[in-house]
Structure formats: C-alpha cells, structure tokens
Chain A
C-alpha cells in the first residue's frame, strides 16, 4: 500500500510526456485524477494504518529501505497530500503562460511521491535516500525557465542541498554505529553504553547533521539558495519551497532530534544551545532580509526562512511540548505560506508585476486575491483568531515551559520576527489597498481576479487558516499525542 502510494505519482509523472494527450484538458484531468486518487489513498492509509513496518529492500548489513506510518508521518503525509491536489489545480492555470509544460508536470508530480517517501520512511537511511532524491527531482523544476538566473539558482540549490546532505550523512553514520537501530523510535536510539566518553564528539556530529539537514530548512548561514530558487514557477515556489522541500528539511531535523539522537541525550547540552542560537538568529535574520527585499516572491521566501526556523525553534526546545509547537507550526505555516505564495503567483500571472512598489492600488482590481493575501498576512503575523497565533502560542508555551533561559530569548525573537512580519506583509497590503491620494488606476484596467482554478485553492486555504485559528483544539491535541508518541 505504502509503496503504491509513493510510486503512483512517480509513474503518473513519467506517463505525462509519454501519453499522447489530444487536448490540454485531458492531461489536466489525468494528472488531477492521479493526484486526488493518491491523496485519497494516503488519507485512507492514515486512517487505517497499522503499526507494522513495510520492508522494501535490504541495503547493506542491517540497513534497509522500509516504510512505516507513525505520528510524524501522519502529520507530514496528511499535510502534503492535502495541499497537493489544490496546488496541482493551481498549476494548471499558472502554467498556461509557461513553456515546457510536460517536463514541469513530470517532475512536479514525481515530487509528490518522493515527498511521501520522506514522510513514510521508517528509518534514517530510507529518509536520507528520499531526501537526496527530493533534491534531484526538484532541481529541474527550479531550472525550468532555463534562463541564466534559473540555472544559477538551481546550481546553488544543488550545491547547498547535496552539501548539506553530505553532513547529514555523517549524522546517519553516527546513528548507525552508536545506535541500536536506525529505525525511528521516539526518544532516540542511541546506545549510551556504546558511546562511553565520546559524548562531545557525538554532540558535534549532531550539530553538523543539524546544519546539514538545516540546509533544506534554510537555516542561516545556509539559506541563500531559497530566495534565489524563487525564479521557479510559482506553484513550485509555493508548494515546494514553502512546504514540501523545506518542510522535509524541518521534518528530517525533527526525526534526527527526537527519533534518532533522542532528546534525553541532547537536552541541556552545548549542542542544544548552539543550534538554538543559530535558529534564533535565523528567525530574526530572515525577517529583516524580507523587510529589505522588494521582489514579492523573494520577500516571501525570506519570510519562509524565518518561519522555518520557528519550527526548528520548537524542535530544538526538545520537549514534547516543543515538538507539538513545531508540528503545529509545520502544518499551519504550510497553509498560510502556500496561500500567500499563491496570491503572489496570481498577481504575477495576471499582471506580470513582481515588485512590491508596483502593487499600488491593485487591491481594488483584484479584491479576492488581495483579501486572501491580507488574511494570510495577518495569520503570519499571529493575529489571534487565525492559524498563526495558535502555532506561535504553542511554540511560546513550550519555550516558557522548558525553563531554558535561552528559550525565553527565543520567544523574544519570535515576537521581533512577528513585528517584522507585520512590516513586510502589511506594507504590501497597505500599498494595494491605500495607494495614496493621487493614484491613477487607469493603468490597471486590465488587471482582474484570476479564474476559479486559481481562486478555489486560495479560498480553501483561507478557510483552513481561519478554521485552524478558531478551532485548533482537536488538531493540536492530535499533535500533542503525536509528540507524546501515542501513534
């Protein structure tokens, strides 16, 4: 079942250039059908999962490629499979203006499978495998436009990701050697007897592995690939570089921290302090860069950098509550950020405007898009009643609860970042809706809201932002159970 779920999108993707579609809409129906079918299968699996591990192949020694459904994978797979059909729908409309559609959908759909592979991986090796694969299938997407800029961006993306994976690999080795198993077990698998007096070395390796996986999660100083990768078509930037790819970096770090090294081993050590400082710095750094940036998508990308570090901040608190906060933000941020990216994409698609200062007065021409953008902006800022508040609340509570003075500082970073978020998001909103007294909107006559294929995903995401904001109880409880290892 799991293997079928992972392979279905990959095969569907490969079929896209091979099958002879007479009309574009046939292709759309085929792809959307495949994606929806897969999502349904994923949800079916999540709701009827069993504890057993599915072994695909032996690698070497006792290393194997195997899959399992546990709490974290339920969260991540559920998230990804929830977003993908909408993103695909959006992509159909968006890609009408771009070239090489087939190769785009080929890799776009394949990525779905690979991401699910990361989600369902039962051990570190399997996750590492899909993690590398994810880099490879997404590079063509970044490179898609084949402009010089895109080529440079994809090159950078590759260097960073593969380089990061190389260091993450070292962590993998440590777990193989010093752990009882590479399987993910909440609480860690390290064998303290084997470690002996090598604790510090192991901590160093943890920090290295953290930074290695952190490359995908755009931890400072390894974040510059993300804004550059914004040259990709918006569906890619939105889904992959705000959700699937970068979140798998965060996901991997959570796996590494909670399920492999174990928080017992790490909590209170200098390693925790180090990574926490890095993460806190990234939170503020990403936001301040976003404030400076005038390109809309790059601005959002910097915002993603900062928000990813929120997740990591939750993760490095290294308590169940911290993990709850991290998971909450992982899910909620995905919805918020994809929504705002899709708005940016809709703006680019409809008006070809890419810079913040070009947006004056557009709010009246595209009220739906900008209305939704405003809501996602408010959510990102953390206004109560929207999703962002809940996740920040959980993160902050975890930090307060941890009794770690550094984490108190982390909360301050969160709030500084919230303020900066307000600055960079609301300045867009203000421009769009309050263009100024003497603004002449005759130049915007052609701009209007996009059609339903773009708006439907936006509306759905908005509904979820509000829904999560006002009724988070059950879902956060579920996350808490995940963090406590119930599933």
Chain B
C-alpha cells in the first residue's frame, strides 16, 4: 500500500487535533494553524485524487489493521478525494472572504473558539466523506451538528442563538431518525461496515426476507438526512441559520455542511443499500416530488424575501431541491447531475454570501433591498461577483449553473415518466430564480443611490476582492471545463458500486 493511502486518515486526524491545539494558541496563531490545516488537507486530497485517477481504483484503509467485519474502515475513491479537495477549497475561500467580518461580529475572546469549530467541522466533513462505517458516520454527523451549531451561534445575537436552537432541534430529530434507521439496519444485517451491509442487503432482497423493516430502515435514514440537509418541507430552520450567522459560517454551512449530509446519503444509496435496490423503492419518487416542490417553493419564498441574506438562504432551499430531484430520477445520469450540482451550488452559494456581505457593508450594514440601491457602484468587486453568482444561479452559459441545469435536463429526458414534470419545473424554477436574483442585480445597479454611504475601492478590501475573483474563476472553470469533472464524477460513482 502506498504512502498516499494514509492521506485520508491523516487529514481527518490533522484537522481533529489542530482543533484541540487551537484552543491554547493565541488568536493569530490559531488563525494561521487553521488556514494551514485547511490548505494542507486540500493539498493532500489533491494528491490523493491524482493518485486515484492514476490507479483508477478505490482502496480501503483498515484503521488499526483490523480486517472487516471487525475493524473500522476508511475508504477513498475518486469522488471522495474530489469532494474533500473541493470542500477544502470552498472552506479556505469562505474563511478568507469572511475574515474581516468575523472581527466585527464576533467577540475577541471567541475567535479561537471559531477556529476550533472550523477545524472540527472540517474533520467531521472529511470523516463523513471517507468513512466506510455507518456508526462512525453517525458519530461524525453529530460532531458536525455540534460544530455547525457553534458556528451559527458564535455571533452572539438573540436571533442567532434562537436559530442555533432551532437548527439543533431539527438536526437532532434528523440524527435521531438516522440512528434509529441505522440500528434497524444493524439489526437486520448484523454489520456496520458499508460493504458488508450491502452484501447482506442483497442477500435479504434475494431471499425476499425482512422487506418491510428494510424499507423502514432506509426511509428513516433518508428522512433523517433530508431533514439535516434542509429538503423542502424540513427547511424551516434554514433561513435564520444562514441569514444571521457570520458570513463565513453562512457560506460554509450552506455550501458544505448540508452537502456533507447529502454526500453521506449518496454513499448510503450506493454503498449500503445498492443503487438498483434503492431505485426500486418508492422512496425516490417521494424524494423527487419533494425536490420539485422545494425548487418552486424555495424560490417563491425567496421572491417574497426583503433581506438579501435570507433571500440567498431561501435560494439554497431551491437548490437543494434540484439535488434531490436528481436523486429522485433514479438514474445514473441524474445522480451525476446531482453530484455536479453539489459542486456548482457550493461554489456559487458561498460566492453569493461573500459578495452579499460586501454589498451590505457599503449600505450601512443594512441588508434590506431598499438600502442596497446602487451598492454595485459603491463596491464594484462585490457587485460584479454578485452578478456573476446570480447569473450562474439563473443558468447562463459559461457559469457552472448552466452545466448542472444541462445535466439535469439531459438526465430527465431519459426518464420516461418524470421527464415532462422535471423539464417544466426546471423551466419555471429558472424563471423564478431569474426574478429574485435579477431583481437584486438590477437593484444594486439601479441608481447611484444614497451617496452618504462610503465607496470601497480595491485597496480597502484586497483579500475580499481576491477571494471573490477566485470564486468567480472557480465558477467559470466548472462552467467551461465541465467535461473532466463530469468524467471524474462518473468514475467516482462507478467506484462506489
């Protein structure tokens, strides 16, 4: 086994321990450590990705050299490594882009805490990505929840605490369900390692035994993860949590945390239940319908919203609907589209959050649309970035959003019964997206607006601007050069099976 194969384990471990270290370091050092860790994990994931692309096969890493079914395992394929790399990039950029806001909004003494939470979050995300063990997944789901909750409430305002409580409650409901489903699954199969469960499930299906408990178990796990990733009817906690927390948190939460759960769901679908078995259940239809409804209702709520951050948050609901719609199609192509949309949405949504903060800064800190009038002239970079993000969301070619729409639509055509519904809802949702995003874009360029607000030039916000540029580039890379990425996703999904 190559040395590279240790990287998944290393990256989880580094981020976990650096979190602990951060608590005793001075603030500056903690920040440095945090950045270095994220970068290092990113680099490791990159190397791992290259390595896996080279070998073309996934590998299983035995923790403590206990073989299955007793030991705990880590498994790395192209998709896992790619996700890890992507998460690191987004996280790094979000941290850098929101750093200045962090100082304004969070008490001095709590900065260390913030870095701890970020590191913890990173480790839990990585664990969710890499683990091959269901119970480990559960534990890290909880860790993820706790650290995410911390990220929300680190800004000590009434709203955020309340949002954190709500987030916590919903998450606990979700993880409770997940755990229960997991227990039933364990009861049925006697295994906790994904590959072993899959074999047993296949056997059960073959023998026609325990169908109902199996379905119940899968359903419980699905619902649990849906709640946690804010699929449409379970999204009530989301706008406050994303809307009021500090900007880095919002960006990370919306683009990474919920995506971590979704990724776990993908793993469960492929590696635990088996893609075909999952598709033969009715669950996908339910997911499909909820996905479609999420696309519409999320956008409708966003149109009604009068607060730019909350609007973006609602837009997340719609975008998550896209992803679940992709699951619901029950085809390989749909899955590829969903995974691509995970990437594309992550890149775009964090861009939007970071750009929005730039716009509110030059509007007296207000996030109401009326105050944002002309903000695009006062903060040019943020304006351009927000426009780019919006266009991507609307699905203008060149940006990543277009490709994911393209993939979704192409996937939809292959599914006989769901084609028309998907295409029409896709169209309507694009119109709705156009309405609220373009409304904002026009608003920020409408008039020169209130001249009493300061203008910000490139010098005043170098880091912010550079981060935004990177985000836009990321978006365009996803949009223009999508074929290799799509190939990679396909390869990764193939490795899952």
Contacts and interface: CB of A to CB of B under 8 A. Distances in A.
B379 to A, nearest CB: 18
Give the interface centre of B405, B419, B434, B441 by most chain A CB atoms within 10 Å.
Answer: B434
Contacts of A140: 445
Given A162-B434, A162-B438, A170 B446 contact: no
Interface in B67-113: none
Given A146-B447, A169-B405, A173-B410, A59 B395 contact: no
A158 B439 CA distance: 9
Contacts of B448: 146
A138 B410 CA distance: 30
Contacts of A205: 423
A92 interface: no
B273 interface: no
Nearest to B408: A173
A205 B482 CA distance: 26
A59 B445 CA distance: 31
Residue from B412, B442, B482 with most neighbouring chain A CB atoms (10 Å): B442
Given A143-B446, A167-B427, A169-B427, A201 B420 contact: yes
B430 A162 contact: yes
B426 interface: yes
Contacts of B410: 173, 176-177
Nearest to B483: A60
Given A158-B434, A162-B431, A167-B427, A143 B403 contact: no
A112 B36 CA distance: 48
Given A151-B446, A170-B409, A204 B420 contact: yes
Contacts of B221: none
Contact of A151 (B413, B419, B442): B442
B25 interface: no
A25 interface: no
A169 B395 contact: yes
B427 A170 contact: yes
Contacts of A166: 395, 426-428, 430-431, 434
B71 to A, nearest CB: 41
Contacts of B482: 59-60
Nearest to B482: A60
Given A58-B483, A176-B410, A201-B420, A129 B431 contact: no
B398 interface: yes
Contact of A129 (B394, B398, B414, B424): B398
Interface string B374-414: 00000000000000000100111110000101110110111
A125 B405 CA distance: 13
B426 A155 contact: no
B430 A163 contact: yes
A317 interface: no
Contacts of A201: 419-420
Interface string A116-139: 000000000100110011001001
B486 interface: yes
A128 B423 CA distance: 17
A174 interface: yes
Nearest to B416: A198
Nearest to A151: B446
A405 interface: no
B406 A60 contact: yes
A316 B419 CA distance: 26
B442 A155 contact: yes
A132 B396 CA distance: 6
Interface SS majority for chain B: helix
Interface string A178-216: 100000000000000000000001001100100010000
Interface string A137-176: 0011001001000010011001100110111011001101
B215 interface: no
A132 B403 CA distance: 14
Contacts, number: 100
A204 B414 CA distance: 16
Contacts of A20: none
Contacts of A129: 397-398
A62 to B, nearest CB: 10
Contacts of B405: 169
B435 interface: yes
A212 B446 CA distance: 27
A173 B434 contact: no
B483 A162 contact: no
Contacts of B24: none
Contacts of B434: 158-159, 162-163, 166
A212 B423 CA distance: 13
B391 A136 contact: yes
B491 to A, nearest CB: 15
B439 A128 contact: no
Contacts of B483: 58-61
A128 B427 contact: no
B413 A128 contact: no
Nearest to A173: B409
A122 B125 CA distance: 44
B480 interface: yes
A57 interface: yes
Nearest to A154: B442
Given A151-B446, A155-B439, A170 B423 contact: yes
A168 to B, nearest CB: 9
A165 B394 CA distance: 10
A140 B391 CA distance: 15
Given A57-B480, A60-B403, A166-B395, A159 B420 contact: no
Nearest to A146: B447
Most chain-A Cβ atoms within 10 A of its Cβ — which of B398, B403, B430? B430
A139 B394 CA distance: 15
26 contacts: A57-B480, A58-B483, A59-B397, A59-B480, A61-B486, A63-B406, A125-B397, A132-B397, A146-B446, A146-B447, A146-B448, A151-B442, A158-B438, A162-B430, A162-B431, A166-B395, A169-B395, A169-B409, A169-B427, A170-B424, A173-B413, A173-B423, A176-B410, A177-B413, A201-B419, A204-B420
Given A61-B486, A165-B430, A212-B427, 19 more contacts: A57-B480, A60-B403, A60-B483, A60-B486, A125-B397, A140-B445, A151-B447, A154-B442, A158-B441, A158-B442, A162-B394, A162-B396, A162-B430, A163-B430, A166-B431, A166-B434, A167-B427, A169-B427, A170-B427
Interface of B: 391, 394-398, 403, 405-407, 409-410, 412-414, 419-420, 423-424, 426-428, 430-431, 434-435, 438-439, 441-442, 445-448, 480, 482-483, 486
Q: Which 6 residue pairs across A and B have the least CB separation, nearest first?
A: A166-B430, A163-B431, A162-B434, A173-B409, A129-B397, A177-B413
